[in-house]
Chain A
């Protein structure tokens, strides 16, 4: 299974902080695939609340998600839909 990469812009006004970060981790953990988040050269585990909070993605940040695993495609679709949602 090849890795899939997708680059998106965070649309939520709160950025990937607070509730959105916890929601993101909960969504990611529904899938068996791994997901890595890259922001300005820094990479963290997308299934980790600590990791997500560490990269501090504000509204408008550009993130790359790299998914690896059997359900990588489905996972990325859901995560992308979540991050791209405006509030």
Chain B
């Protein structure tokens, strides 16, 4: 046997989550298996049918098992996708057709099954309907599992069965894949598509592992079980590293571990600048499983609670009671700090089965977030009732996403008033003074911040969308990544405008986008007078340390000067130079702020 010698090669992508990971490649096989056509004799028909039935019942057991595990680990809501999978698996038409065709075509169970499956998926994919498109992915997923059972291969996506540390290599990671990713064995992510703010980046950050995205054809160039190094700071992926490369990265990893160890003592450090200005650092939050990290990094509350996950991967809408219980649990868990619940932010790149959205040419400019809620007031009211009821049990605030100006804010607030009135009439307790905020993520909202400030209690700047809308750059499009400039003068000016309008009206401003977790940009935000920073919990120590080493007065001066520059690149260069001069100890680890 000839042993294939693997040579080292390097791929460059978009750095989406920092850190270094070394592990074995795990290709999330999104492609169909090659299923050989196998003819059978009349006598084998019953055997093939029995094999098929066994594979279906094995798959059902497997899905039930995963569902129970996810329910226990992450929560019932995240496990609901598997109900859709079971519905496909128990589909009488599919099952009967397979059995009939095994008999009539005299072909093996796997070849008949895969042909029928392909036919359905092909038809579903042609139907212009978001729900059916999503179902076709369910059908494919279930199909792959059944085929694995029929063909006697190892199971798919069962990370528990793997030994050693793995790196997920995928074309893309969907929100429903993501819920299965809370596993200690997963050391990093590499994907073909996506940029810094893609869902995969958020998952990676919440797991505290590196991610390099937008590699275009990584899934074609990397094979299963290849050794891989991911450098999430530089956006580099090294495949089949030589001994020397490996040794280099192992020592880098040790340095990072040392550095992270030194961050551990930031947990009990007061959160303030060198000259004593208080900084509030809060957490972005999505799923129950993240609460331990929120506590571990001493977040002073949850600055952004994304509620979309409630609505995803299920056929029906979440009930008021279900939402109320979940919100209350988080509110009680985070008390005495506050939780800011963002109302439903669907549309754009997030779709669900239970609400059918019309197909739009540019979904990010279409019926998204608050617009969708205003179009579907019953869905909105249900969520508002749940949030208000939860407000009786902790420190709950709420904010609307994608407000484009005072008109939408008033429309949303008038629905809120109606819901409050109804609760009052029924004697259901809630906090009459629950703070209501506006997300500033559309340039028109930033431009009308002075007007919005009169009609709400706080602002939260969603920098990811604000950058995308201001610069007209699709943030999920890796080809546009070079134009996605957080330090662009237009973005900084809109942020400055928003903060000063808020402070003129005596309300607080937070940033809950990626910008808050970039130490260099966070210094600018501090200098502009930002009141609080919300980020994935694992970013808190780095930002806390960076901001504690600088004087507020210096940050103010740097921000003033940075705002006079002409490009994002100039801003970045200026900040790095100045910070190196002012706080030399900030940059003693490979250019990364300490």
Contact = CB atoms under 8 A, between A and B. Distances in A.
Nearest to B87: A49
Interface residues of A, number: 16
B177 interface: no
A56 B127 contact: yes
Contacts of A25: 87
B576 interface: no
A45 B356 contact: no
A19 B356 CA distance: 9
Interface residues of B, number: 21
B93 A45 contact: yes
A19 B93 contact: no
Interface string B315-330: 1100000000000000
A10 to B, nearest CB: 14
B356 A53 contact: no
Interface stretch (B31-39, B131-139, B419-427): B131-139
A49 B86 CA distance: 11
B304 to A, nearest CB: 28
B131 A18 contact: yes
A17 B87 contact: no
A54 interface: yes
B574 interface: no
Given A19-B316, A22-B315, A56-B127, A48 B353 contact: no
A18 B311 CA distance: 14
B121 to A, nearest CB: 10
Contact of A50 (B93, B129, B131): B93
A54 B123 contact: yes
Given A14-B356, A17-B129, A18-B354, A53 B135 contact: yes
A45 B96 CA distance: 11
A54 B87 contact: no
A48 B354 CA distance: 19
B430 interface: no
Contacts of A19: 315-316, 353-354
B281 interface: no
Given A50-B93, A51-B93, A17 B88 contact: no
B315 to A, nearest CB: 5
B94 interface: yes
A25 B315 CA distance: 12
Nearest to B95: A48
Given A14-B356, A22-B87, A53 B93 contact: no
A7 B132 CA distance: 25
A25 B84 CA distance: 12
B417 interface: no
Contacts of B162: none
20 contacts: A17-B129, A17-B131, A17-B132, A17-B356, A18-B129, A18-B315, A18-B353, A19-B315, A19-B316, A19-B354, A25-B87, A47-B93, A48-B92, A48-B93, A48-B94, A50-B91, A50-B139, A51-B93, A53-B124, A54-B123
Interface of B: 87-88, 91-94, 96, 120, 123-124, 127, 129, 131-132, 135, 139, 315-316, 353-354, 356
Given A19-B353, A51-B91, 4 more contacts: A17-B132, A50-B88, A51-B93, A54-B124
Interface of A: 14, 17-19, 22, 25, 44-45, 47-51, 53-54, 56
